[in-house]
Amino acid sequence: MGVMVVDLLSVYGLLLKHFGRQKWWPAETKFEVVVGAILTQNANWKNVERAITNLKDNDLMEPDRIHRISEERLKALIRPAGYYNSKSRKLKEFTNFLFDNYNDLNEFLALPLEQLREQLLSLWGIGPETADSVILYAAEKPSFVIDAYTKRIFSRLGLVNEEIGYDTLKNFFERSIPRDVSLYKEFHALIVELGKNYCKTKPLCGACPLGKECPEKLKHKVFIPG
C-alpha cells in the first residue's frame, strides 16, 4: 500500500523558520554523545543531564574510566536517568567491547558507516535509534535518526503508515533529502522540538507550524511501503 509523502525539505524549512537552529547534540566530547545516547533511552533529557553531570563531577566522562569503575557505583551515578541497572550494563558492554577490539573511541568511530552500524547493533542494549545517534552525532556520518516523534508526526500528517518500520522510514528520509551530516542533525533536532512542543500525545494542531502550510507542500507523490 502506498502513501503520498511531502517534500521533506519543505518541512525542514518550515520547522527551521519556526524554531531556529538547535545545535544538537549538546555534548562536549564524542564519548559524551555515546553516553547520552544510551542514557536517553526511555528518559527525559533533563534527567539524562543530571546523570551526565554526576559523571562529569566525578571525572568519569572518559571510556577508560567507565570501563574501570564498579558497576554499583556507576548505577548510583546514573540513577537520575532511570533504568539504571540496564543502562549501567549497556555502558559497561560498550566500553568492554571498545577496549577488547580497538585502541580508542576514535578508531572505532572511524569505521565505514555500515560496518560501524553493524557493530553497534551487535552490542547488548543498542538498538537502531541509539546506534544511529552515535553514528550521526559522534562519528559524524550520515545516518538519519528515527525516533517516536518522527513516526508520530509523519503518520499524523497522513504521509506514512503509523506502523511503518524503523529502517523503512529511515531509508525514506535518506532517499528524500541530501546525505548531509549537518542537515541530518538539524532536521532530527527540529522534529524532536515539534514533537515536544506541538505534536504531543494530545496534539496542539491549531498552533503547529506545519498545521496551515504543510498541506500546500504536498506536491510530490512518492510511494513507499507502509
Tens-of-pLDDT digits for all 226 residues of the chain?
Answer: 333 335 789 889 999 999 999 989 999 999 999 999 999 999 999 999 999 999 999 999 999 999 999 999 999 999 999 999 999 999 999 999 999 999 999 999 999 999 999 999 999 999 999 999 999 999 999 999 999 999 988 888 777 888 999 999 999 999 989 999 999 999 999 999 999 999 988 888 878 898 765 443 343 333 444 4
So where are the chain's domains? Answer: 8-22+145-217, 30-138
Q: Which residues contact 54 (CB under 8 A, 6 or more apart)?
A: 77, 78, 80
**8-22+145-217 and 30-138 agree in CATH topology:** no
Q: Give the fold, CATH level 3, of 30-138.
A: Endonuclease III; domain 1 (1.10.340)
Q: Give the fold, CATH level 3, of 8-22+145-217.
A: Endonuclease Iii, domain 2 (1.10.1670)
Tell me what pLDDT residue 120 has: 98
Tell me what pLDDT residue 222 has: 39
Q: Please, are residues 64 and 104 in contact by the beta-carbon 8 Å criterion?
A: no
Tell me what pLDDT residue 220 has: 34
Q: Quote the cell numbers at residue 96.
A: 568492554
181-197 and 8-19 helices, crossing angle to 10°: 70
Tell me what pLDDT residue 3 has: 37
- Return d(Cα 117, Cα 165) in angstroms, integer: 17
CB atoms closer than 10 angstroms to residue 92: 18
Nearest in space to 186 (alpha carbons), one of 1, 8, 6, 2: 8
The model's pTM: 0.90
Q: Which residues contact 201 (CB under 8 A, 6 or more apart)?
A: none
DSSP letter at 136 equals I
Query: Which ranges constitute the DSSP H helices of the chain?
Result: 8-19, 30-39, 45-57, 63-68, 71-78, 84-101, 105-109, 113-121, 128-133, 148-156, 166-176, 181-197
- Return d(Cα 14, Cα 210) in angstroms, integer: 7
DSSP letter at 42 equals T
